Chains A and B, each alone.
Chain A
Amino acid sequence: MQPIADPIVTFRRVQKTYDGENLIVKDLNLDIARGEFLTLLGPSGSGKTTCLMMLAGFETPTGGEIRLDGQRIDTVPPHKRGIGMVFQNYALFPHMTVGENLRFPLAVRKLPAAEIDAKVKRALAMVQLQDFAGRYPQQLSGGQQQRIALARALVFEPKLVLMDEPLGALDKQLREHMQLEIKHIHQSLGVTFVFVTHDQSEALTMSDRIAVFDKGVIQQIDRPDALYDAPANAFVASFIGENNALDGRIEQDDGDSCGVRLADGSFLKAANGGVGRSGEAAMLSIRPERVRIVADADGANRLPAQVEELIYLGDHLRIRLRVAGSTTFTVKTPVSRLDRSPGAGQLVHVEIAPEHIRALAPMPA
């Protein structure tokens, strides 16, 4: 992990266990940069939400330390941390109007009334719900409630805002709209956002950096494009985006690149994603859109393939192939790039440039 100068949050050797036997979070070290949009991404039970809750103060770390602005906060109660938070089901107070919900954190801080009014007004304008101050949360749509929850977490101007899967309850279209809206609000405010989700496309859309969690460990933390193009291990490769996995064994090791012999005997040159030396097992990760379908075997890094199924998706075509023993090898190709779509059962070849094949250590079983 590259060091970050003057991080707003640092986790150092943080551990968390609920039952004293299994660690939900194992030895977590994480620096969060000032003003960045960091997403904690992972399947359920991977420890991402526990990390967020430890940061918010609703869970106590079993070991290690968490610092906010250089101050240790793992013993500070949640209401003294000054961290904004957006909850999964919004948690807007049902007995208060939207306006009262927004006034709440300001009134608790005993700000003068005029200042409170001005801040509430500004927060409502930020989420474009100026006329809704008198409504009750139940009278708003899911998207509007979501915006009010965001406005409430931001109205007292925290330096850090946490979001726990805030878009999970929205339908797909609204979710995509809100993703962009939250991203724009982040860009205009310059506040640090930490966002938890299990939806990788949401993470790719919104984040400056993504920390991929699995089994209580950060598997990789990087920019979205780096995560996608250069996954550090087999878990990240399969969790982020679509991935074709081919198993093989390293045959030559040239540092940045390597040669891999597949199970069916064919040989591919690949980029070295941190695998071991010759003779060790490797998983080749190939993105579906990086595969080119060609007619013959004349060229480097070509494999014979048989077309199993064609799925027409309007702008692109998904082709499922049988390649090197795998029957789920998928190719994604724009319709405009195919002169003539192959028929099912047809024998073709696939060509993948070596820089688009990453040889990774296989996932532990």
Chain B
Amino acid sequence: MSTDTLPLDAAPTESVVGLKQRLRRAERRRKLLYGALILPLALFLVIAFIWPIAALLKRSVDNPEVHGALPQTLAVLKHWSGDELPPAEAYAALAGELAAIRGTPELGAAAKRLNRETPGYRSLIMKTARKMPLAEGVDAQGALMTIDSRWSDVDIWLAIKRTGAPYTAFYMLSALDLTIDADGSLSATPPEESIYLDILGRTFWMSLIVAACCLLLGFPVAYLMANLPQDKSNSLMIFVLLPFWTSVLVRVAAWIVLLQNDGLVNQALMALGLTDSPLQLVFNRLGVYIAMVHILLPFMVLPLYSVMKGISPVYMRAAMSLGCPPFKSFWKVYFPQTLPGIGAGTLLVFIICMGYYITPALLGSPKEQMVSYFIAFYTNQTINWGMAAALSAVLLAATLVLYVFYARRLGASQAPAGR
């Protein structure tokens, strides 16, 4: 309200504009400073995290092999209806291009890609390419049909056209056990070939079981820690964090030692007479559950503890003073206030589980392998980047959907607290 700093009556609009400009200028410097502070991390994230993920996701729809190897053939086939055999120029273009890339890795990649679409295609391409180049002035159509009669099959040419697009949904659909038929319609992969939906379902189910076990085991510990005096809860905290300080690999190896058929646990059980023959505790689902719950328990306890620490014990007293018995007070008043911690802990454990690789790989049988095992399989063993990227994309999408769902639910339940 000071009129001496703002000559309002002289030129009100101008001075207000001037003030806004000055404010913006002052703000700009601050914003630049903030920007400079987060710039290194932002750059690091873009280069080391966002860009690789984007590149990997692109791989799941990328289809460069045929597109790169046979551009002229594809240009001719572009106008071809697919009802009858392609025109003679298509044969000529194919013969020329096969001759050009004969002996290069490009040919092998294209043949492999076509083989994935139509079994047997690889040998067809290799056989044809070996006979290239054709002699000058020879009719390409006739020559190719002579080399292999399959070149007179419309479906063989349709396969080139289908795989020739620069991008494809093939890998993504495969990851969801779907295929595109020759006529372009979507259908489920035959049951003997479909595995990925099963694996995805198994990944979800095992993650759910592990998260539930962590919650059941972690909740009482977190409650105890939140309600003990500081010094006692600190020493308890060390026990909770202890597993963090050893490598996952060491812990997994330790579990193998403990749980194997002549391991400590089985020896103890037999010594106590609880069982006559050793129980199968490892290299099955039970072993995977035991080890994963052990490894992931801190991720449940810590969020729960931090939420419970913030809940005043006075609420329980208040509930009891209002006539509510102790256990019911806990259930009606204390427990609902821990829901944000339960949500955060469960989601954290669940999401980490979804991507777990080493524990099921070492402690489980083939029936316990989760999605990430197959991602590793495709990247390391068959070098099928498209499939690996597609499975990763499915996993990422599932995780994101879960997270959005959780954020929505939690956002709704915390809205009144947002003051």
- Binding between chains A and B: yes
Name the contact of B324 in the complex, choosing from A79, A83, A139 (C-beta under 8 A).
Answer: A79
Residue pair A109, B417 in contact (C-beta under 8 Å): no
Q: Among residues 317 to 336 in chain B, which have CB atoms less than 8 Å away from a CB atom of chain A?
A: 317-326, 328-329, 332-333, 336
- B273 in contact (CB, < 8 A): no
A70 in the interface, Cβ–Cβ < 8 Å? no
A136 to B415, CA, bound (A): 10
Q: Mark A38-73, 1 if CB is under 8 A from B, else 0.
A: 000000000000000000111000000000000000
Kindly state the separation between the CA atoms of A85 and B323 in the bound complex, as whole angstroms.
11
Considering the chains assembled together, what is the distance between the CA atoms of A91 and B322 in angstroms? 11
* Residues 294-349 of B at the A interface (beta carbon under 8 Å): 312, 314-315, 317-326, 328-329, 332-333, 336-337, 339
Q: Is the CB of B328 within 8 A of A108?
A: yes
Q: Assess the B322–A105 pair: CB atoms within 8 A.
A: yes
**Which residue, A87, A95, A136, has most C-beta atoms of chain B within 10 A?**
A95
A255: interface (CB < 8 Å):
no
List, in ascending order, chain B residues with CB within 8 A of A152's CB.
Answer: 322
Interface status of A274 (Cβ within 8 A of chain B)? no
Inter-chain contact B419/A108, CB cutoff 8 Å = no
- The verdict on A156 contacting B416 (CB below 8 Å), with A91-B312, A91-B315, A95-B336 known, is no
| Minimum Cβ distance to chain A for residue B318 (Å) | 4
Partner of A93, one of B318, B320, B323, B325: B318
Q: Name the CB-closest residue of A to B415.
A: A136
Asked if B320 and A78 sit within 8 Å, CB to CB, the answer is yes
List residues of A (114-151) whose CB comes within 8 Å of B's CBs: 136, 138-139
Contact residue among B324, B336, B339 (Cβ-Cβ distance under 8 Å from A108) = B324
Q: Which of A57, A58, A88, A108 contacts B322 (CB 8 A)?
A: A108
A136 CB contacts on chain B under 8 angstroms: 416-417
Most buried by A among B312, B320, B321, B416: B321
CB–CB A89/B417 < 8 A: no
Instruction: Name the residue in A56, A77, A91, A156 with the highest tally of chain B Cβ atoms < 10 Å from its Cβ.
Output: A91
How distant is the Cα of A201 from the Cα of B314 in the complex, in angstroms?
Answer: 27
Pick the contact of B416 from A56, A83, A138 — CB < 8 Å?
A138
Q: Does residue A94 face the partner (Cβ distance < 8 Å to B)?
A: yes
**Chain A contacts for B417, CB-based, 8 A:** 94, 136, 138
Task: Report the contact-size class of chain A (Cβ under 8 Å from the partner).
Answer: 20 to 34
Identify which of residues 270-296 in chain A touch chain B, using a CB-to-CB cut-off of 8 Å: none
B315 close to A93 (CB less than 8 A):
yes
Q: Does A82 belong to the interface (CB within 8 Å)?
A: yes
Does A235 belong to the interface (CB within 8 Å)? no
Q: A95-B337, A138-B417, A139-B416 are in contact. Are A85 and B325 (CB under 8 A)?
A: no
CB distance from B409 to the nearest CB of A (A): 14
Interface presence of A84 (CB below 8 A): yes
**Size category, B interface:** 20 to 34
A104 at interface, CB cutoff 8 A: yes
- B320 contacts A139, C-beta separation under 8 Å: no
Residues of A within 8 A of B328 (CB): 108
Give bound CA distance, A248 to B418, whole Å.
Answer: 62
CA A274 – CA B325 in complex, angstroms?
49
User: Within residues 381 to 419 of chain B, which ones have a CB less than 8 A from any CB in chain A?
Assistant: 413, 416-417, 419
B416 & A108 in contact (Cβ 8 Å cutoff): no
Complex: A153 Cα to B322 Cα, angstroms: 7
**In the bound complex, do residue A79 and residue B329 qualify as a contact, i.e. CB atoms below 8 Å apart?**
yes
Contact A84 B321, CB 8 Å, known A91-B314, A136-B416, A138-B419 = yes
Q: Smallest Cβ distance from B262 to chain A, in angstroms?
A: 52
- Closest Cβ of chain B to A20, distance in Å, is 18
Q: Are A85 and B321 in touch, CB under 8 angstroms?
A: yes
Contact with A along B273-299 (1 / 0, CB 8 A): 000000000000000000000000000
CA gap between A152 and B419 in the complex, in Å? 23
Which residues of B are found within 8 Å of A77, using beta-carbon distances?
320, 326
Check if B333 sits within 8 Å of A93, measured CB to CB.
Answer: yes
A78 touches B321 (CB 8 A): yes
Q: Cβ of B337: which chain A residues have Cβ within 8 Å of it? A: 94-95
> How long is the Cα–Cα vector from A334 to B329 in the complex, in angstroms?
55
Bitwise, A13-40 to B at CB < 8 A (1) or not (0) is 0000000000000000000000000000
On whether A83 and B321 interact (CB within 8 A), knowing A138-B416, A138-B417, A139-B419, the answer reads yes
How far, in whole Å, are A88 and B321 apart by their CA atoms in the complex?
A: 14
CB nearest to B328 among chain A residues: A108
Q: How far is the CA of A216 from the CA of B336 in the complex (A)?
A: 38
With a cutoff of 8 Å between Cβ atoms, the chain B residues found around residue A153 in the complex are: 321-322
With A89-B312, A94-B337 known as contacts, the answer to whether A79 contacts B317 (CB < 8 A) is no
CB distance from B227 to the nearest CB of A (A): 15
Residues of A near B324 (CB, < 8 A) are 79, 104-105, 108
Q: How far is the CB of B52 from chain A (nearest CB, A)?
A: 42
Please determine whether A108 and B317 come into contact, CB atoms closer than 8 angstroms: no
- Contacts A89-B312, A89-B314, A95-B337; A156 near B322 (Cβ below 8 A): yes
Q: How far is the CA of A87 from the CA of B313 in the complex (A)?
A: 12
Contacts of B333 in A (CB 8 A): 93
Question: What is the bound-complex CA distance between A226 and B22, given in angstroms?
Answer: 65
Nearest 5 interchain pairs by C-beta? A136-B416, A105-B322, A91-B318, A85-B321, A79-B320
A-B contact pairs, 17 of them (CB 8 A): A58-B320, A79-B321, A79-B322, A79-B323, A80-B323, A85-B317, A85-B318, A88-B314, A91-B318, A93-B318, A95-B413, A104-B322, A104-B324, A108-B322, A108-B328, A139-B416, A156-B323
Beyond A91-B318, A105-B322, 13 additional pairs, beta carbon < 8 A: A58-B317, A79-B322, A79-B324, A79-B326, A83-B321, A94-B417, A95-B336, A95-B339, A104-B332, A105-B323, A138-B417, A152-B322, A153-B322
